[in-house]
Amino acid sequence: MIARWLVLAVRGLSPGGSLFSLRGLIGLGILAVVSVLLVLSYAGLGAILQSGRERRERPQGEDRYRGMIEDTSDIIHIVSPEGKFLYVNRAWHNTFGYSDDELANLTQMDLLHPDERAKAQRQIGVLMNEGGVIQIETRFVTKSGKTIWVEGNSTCEVARAEGLTGRGIFRSVTQPKVLSRRGIFHNVTERKQAEAERARLLAILEEAPDFIGTTTLDGKVMWINRAWRRLLNLEEKSDVSQMRTIDLYPEWVNQILAEAIPTVISAGMWKGEAALLGPNGREVPVSQTIAGHRDEGGNIAYLSTLCRDITESREAEEALREAHAQLNLVMQREKELARTDMLTGLANRRAFYEALQAERARAARYGRPMTLVYLDLDNFKRVNDTLGHAVGDELLACVADLLRRTLRVSDTVGRLGGDEFALLLPETTAQAADALLQKLGGVLMDTMRAKQWPVTFSMGAAAFLDNPASVEEMIRTADELMYSVKKSGKNRISVALMGGSSQESLKAAAATES
């Protein structure tokens, strides 16, 4: 077609015709149209060739990284410029609870907390107009109605399309076009809750009429509350980091405190009467408590103190204990975040061993029975090899949930690693443990059959009477019982009664019957 038009154009401009004749003008017009079509055809061919090259050059690119994206614990989504979901990873599904079919009718804005939507609209506008990367900290609402906090980054995927300008019909320009918005986030709900709880506690301590503060072990002031700052005639936002504890007390009190610090280090707390320095050197008599707060290594990380003015009243102890108890609860909660198995939410190995040590000491002191159970999943590797690690993770989380719901509130469940779990059953004899484990095995196998997971369970239970062995001996015994079940055919329960120097094998029976 283009060639035919080109012939017509040449004829129109042939020597026999005039440039300004009707025939010449028609020829010139045809020549212009043909030129435009040739340019567009060349551009289209170039785009096709470029697209083909890109497809050849990214063969395994998406496949190589898609697995990593799916397995990460980060929450990842890709949405269209209008906010429609184009892709979410497994962590996103697990966090929000929506299926792909449900997401087809939702937008990102639908899932945002109502109080976050106006801010999100502004951020999206900046991102769409200016590009780059923006930091996000916001709240979403999950399918179950739970509000979660996330933080992370959001970027735009931009394509540049070739187009024509209005100045010179053969001149091309590159126009940016936003294809999608990408976000990668961390679920920081627990951290935000801990921060909010700490902020509430600090607000209470800040407004308390008592004099409250924290210092380093070598006497550097870290923080004092508003009541103490007013006592010293300090501004609201005064920097107290250059002050030392000797600046806060009369000389005679510093001598008492120098003798009190060793008590804090050894016993964790010191109580007594002292005095604070007020304006113009005035002494304010106080009842004082100093508490030592330890790090995970057991060393004193910092000291906290609460002083109550006893000029008119000496009733400070109850409020003092409550303040320190609340502070310790916040610190304990932060420690527990490092004592939990991330996949199952159960106690990790360290936390379980600590619970076992405490229960062993209690049972030995009061002469009470207890049972330690080791539970291992049979054929779990086959699940990972044939169904994939995502299904394997789902199976482990399901088993953990069944253990939590089936066992008693007083029992402790831990994941020691891989597909191995441990159960601590206080006040449980061998007979009671056998009955409980038979029930547990039935619940577990019913679920495995319902989900068509080719997994069974081998359990070894060591029941200890009034004189439990050492923790190491208890663990070794339960572990050996479990492995003896595996060697004898798997999918069984072995309960051994441990007492004094004797060991009686109570039962070795199939965990469940089909």
Is-contact 286 298, C-beta < 8 A? no
Per residue of the chain (514 residues), give pLDDT as tens: 544 544 444 455 444 544 445 555 555 555 555 454 544 444 444 444 445 555 555 555 566 667 788 888 899 999 998 889 999 999 999 999 999 899 989 999 999 999 999 998 998 888 888 878 889 899 999 999 999 999 999 998 877 555 544 444 444 445 567 888 999 998 999 988 888 888 888 888 888 889 999 999 999 999 999 999 999 998 888 899 899 988 899 999 989 888 899 999 999 999 999 999 988 888 999 999 999 999 888 899 999 999 999 887 655 456 666 777 777 777 676 666 678 898 999 999 989 999 999 999 998 888 899 999 999 999 999 999 999 999 999 999 999 999 999 999 999 999 998 999 999 999 999 999 999 999 999 999 999 999 999 999 999 999 998 666 788 889 999 999 999 999 999 999 999 998 644 444 444 444 433 3
Is-contact 158 180, C-beta < 8 A? no
Is-contact 154 136, C-beta < 8 A? yes
CA distance 257 to 261: 6
The secondary structure of 405-437 as a DSSP string is HHS-TT-EEEEEETTEEEEEEET--HHHHHHHH
CA distance 462 to 406: 19
303 three-state secondary structure: strand
- Taking the alpha carbons at both ends of the chain, their separation in whole angstroms is 76
311 three-state secondary structure: coil
Q: Residue for token digits 């187009």?
A: 163
Is-contact 271 255, C-beta < 8 A? no
CA distance 183 to 152: 7
> Roughly what angle, to the nearest 10 degrees, separates helices 389-406 and 380-387?
140
428 three-state secondary structure: coil
497 three-state secondary structure: strand
Could you tell me the two tokens for 271?
Answer: 């109580």
Sign of the alpha-carbon torsion through 19, 20, 25, 28: positive
Q: What stretches of 13-60 show up as alpha helix (H) in DSSP?
A: 22-57
Could you tell me the two tokens for 328?
Answer: 């310790």
Task: Say whether pTM exceeds 0.85.
Answer: no
Q: Residue for token digits 């308390």?
A: 208
Could you tell me the two tokens for 483?
Answer: 């492995």
Taking the C-alpha atoms of 323, 329, 335 and 341 in order, what is their torsion angle to the nearest 10 degrees?
A: -170
Sign of the alpha-carbon torsion through 356, 360, 363, 366: negative
- Pairing relationship of beta strands 172-187 and 283-294 according to DSSP bridges: unpaired
Give me the phi and psi of 243, to 5 degrees please: -85, 160
The residue type found at 314 is: R
423 three-state secondary structure: strand
